[in-house]
Copies of this chain bind each other. A is one copy, B any other.
């Protein structure tokens, strides 16, 4: 086991903690508050942010979409340059925070921002960034990764850099109160799949990583079981902290990781506009069945530790069924057809996208070629 790990983001967790941003941002900084639609104006978050920033000079940029696009984000970059702003406060879910990471990096780069996604420009410098999380799901509030879409070419790509780790993140569980059910369900699925990407590979005797991952998975199963009774502080706090820990680098340090489900899911979102989490719920069970032989030991371990399944014949397969049933129980589609995509072209289209974006061998054993992607997508029809 060998790794280098750190996570410098300061977490301010708890009810009322949005006020902490007053002290978290140097008062000399000129802040750009970036957000999405208007939901933060109706749920009180905008007002709390504005109150906390009353001692700062600040401007705002709204309209960042789910699956944030460079077309939109480059307007924020232009605003930063025009106004001489030097700190970004992302107020939103994963899309807004991911988008703000792109803005923070692109503002310090002279060339075309899309170079960052293509890997032509490696990000070493970015504007400092803070985050107020409004939707637990992606873990973006305390990691260095971001997924950005180019609308004009229907591409959805990933970049990461230590330079775009948020300096701080506010996690106030009360923000969940006003979320639509669909977004909460999506967030649970997203966090669950994040853990699976770092856990459902092959065993390497990482006892801390496995035990922490199983804790998070069990938490998410319990949260799903209580989904209908979720209107309480305990549910909200445990969802928010679990989703954060699912993708802050800790459980993945020193162990093999997969991420093929995400890469395939990104292509599906880019092609068909399906919600990110829903693409994961569609791909993961199909991928696990396709890769059962490579993953059966960890699947069996998960079945016992997370779903309390009996250690009988077919345990790995039954674990996949349990995962699929978990997603179904949240009302999330687990087939392309259930998400409104029909017709025979999807497998070829998605496999071609994977190939075009240079992902010839995905998965922890590099076993998932574009041909395998085609099979996985076909089986998820």
Contacts and interface: CB of A to CB of B under 8 A. Distances in A.
B13 A208 contact: no
A342 interface: no
A19 to B, nearest CB: 12
Nearest to A6: B10
A245 interface: yes
Contact of A8 (B6, B215, B216, B238): B6
A274 interface: no
A9 interface: yes
19 contacts: A1-B13, A3-B13, A4-B11, A5-B11, A5-B13, A6-B9, A7-B7, A13-B253, A13-B254, A205-B238, A206-B238, A206-B241, A207-B241, A208-B216, A208-B238, A208-B241, A211-B214, A211-B215, A214-B215
A212 interface: yes
Contacts of A206: 238, 241
Interface in A1-25: 1-15, 17, 20
Question: What is the oligomeric copy number?
Answer: 2
A14 B214 CA distance: 23
A222 B208 CA distance: 12
A237 interface: yes
A63 to B, nearest CB: 31
Interface residues of A, number: 39
A242 interface: yes
A218 interface: yes
A88 to B, nearest CB: 19
A1 B208 contact: no
A57 to B, nearest CB: 25
A222 B242 contact: no
A13 B13 CA distance: 28
Contact of A207 (B11, B12, B207, B238): B238
A16 B349 CA distance: 45
A125 interface: no
A71 B13 CA distance: 41
B8 A4 contact: no
A28 interface: no
Residue from A2, A14, A173 whose CB has the most chain B CB atoms within 10 Å:
A2
A1 B237 contact: yes
A218 B222 contact: no
